[in-house]
Structure 1
Amino acid sequence: MDKKAKMIKKVRIMADYQFGKGCGDILFSDDVTFQLSRTKRIRQIMIDGKRIATARARDGMLTLSMEAATAIHAHVPAPALRVAVCDDAVPFVSKGKTTFAKHVTSIDPGLRSGDEVIIVDENDKAIATGQLLLSPDEVEALDTGAAVDVRCGCEQ
């Protein structure tokens, strides 16, 4: 097995672990390219020069582009990996603004603080992706504060 095939297998396993079985195959086709760090670790995973995901340096978990989040959204049934927001917050969140706890209408109870999530509107349309800052119980209990640090929105 050559070096690129090993890296593809590794990122597919990482995606399956983080987002669920089958997500690695959906996200990373055989024509992906890698941008490596100075220490030869995988940093960015790209297709046709466009970033699909980034491996976080501190823990190796993947952060998603909007295209990757949309692909996972289509594969994983609701409410998995999702944070739903009210219609009032959609214009702001879709532009990449922070999602606040008071705007969250529902959340996957299996999520943990620090997880990569897909932010959806009330009709389950993917509008952004980001990192969950609170546990689902905290999001539901609090009326103030940031719930999701949005990385990218569909209108960015």
Structure 2
Amino acid sequence: MLKRVIYCLFLSLLSGCETTGDPTTGGLYGWSEEKAKQRQAQLNRRVVDIEAQMNAIEEENQELESDKVQLTQLIVIQSEKLNALIASHDALLGKIETYKGLERINQTKISQLKTRYPWLGLSREEVLRQFQEAASESRQQQMLNQLESELESLAQEIDMIL
């Protein structure tokens, strides 16, 4: 029995000293310190590579975050400009409608004036020709007085329009 205890103790010590550090080889035999060092170096290189990739990804994320902030600010500025343009557009549409209404009113008044004073539609030469065709000097004076009064009333109406 003592032999068995000693034998078990010996096997325990032997297995503790001979256990491999390389999980791929395993077992009590075939442990290679060189393979373990290579494996450790390979794992260290992998860690360094992964850390470098993580750093590159973090830098890229920071750049993207910076771009996002800049683009967000640009969107806010452009939105404000767009809102100002929309408000300006709406104001201009209102002015256009107002001016269209005023134009219709003015066209109506011009038509009324041309109906009331037919000579307004004539050229200057035509008015002079009609004036010269008048039979007498008194008729010419009457026409001249009539034209002057019409011009005065026309000037007053134009002043009221403006």
TM over 0.5: no
TM-score by length of 2: 0.17
Larger relative contact order (Cα-Cα within 8 Å, sequence gap ≥ 6): 1
Larger CA Rg, structure 1 vs 2: 2
Select the structure that is richer in strand.
1
**TM-score, L = length of structure 1:** 0.18
Higher helix share: 2
